[in-house]
Amino acid sequence: MDVTSFGIDHERLLRGIYVSRKDTVGNGVATTFDVRMKEPNREMVLDTSVMHTIEHLMAVYLREHPVWAEKTIYVGPMGCRTGMYVIFKGDLEPQDVAAVIRESYEYMAAFEGEIPAAKPTMCGNYLDHNLGITKIECRKFVDEVLSCLKPENMVYPRQNG
Ligand SMILES: [Zn+2]
List the chain domain ranges. 16-148
Distance 109 CA to ligand 1 centre (A): 18
Distance 61 CA to ligand 1 centre (A): 15
Distance 126 CA to ligand 1 centre (A): 6
Kindly report, residue by residue over 118-159, the tens digit of the pLDDT.
999 999 999 999 999 999 999 999 999 999 999 999 999 998
Kindly report, residue by residue over 11-31, the tens digit of the pLDDT.
999 999 999 999 999 999 999
Strand partners, 3: 22
pTM above 0.85, yes or no: yes
**By C-alpha distance, which of 74, 56, 78, 47 is closest to 124?**
56
Distance from CA of residue 148 to its chain's centroid? 16
Distance 52 CA to ligand 1 centre (A): 6
Distance 136 CA to ligand 1 centre (A): 20
**By C-alpha distance, which of 6, 10, 123 is closest to 60?**
123
* CATH of region 16-148, choose from 3.10.580.10, 3.30.1360.80, 3.40.50.2300, 3.40.640.10: 3.30.1360.80
Distance 80 CA to ligand 1 centre (A): 18
Distance 41 CA to ligand 1 centre (A): 26
Report the alpha-carbon distance of residue 4 to residue 14 in Å, rounded.
17
Strand partners, 24: 29
Across the chain, the runs of DSSP E, i.e. the strands, are 16-25, 28-36, 72-77, 83-89
- Environment of ion ligand 1 (residues, CB < 5 A): 123
Across 3-161, the runs of DSSP E, i.e. the strands, are 16-25, 28-36, 72-77, 83-89
**Which residues have CB under 8 Å from 78's CB, separation 6+?**
34, 84, 85
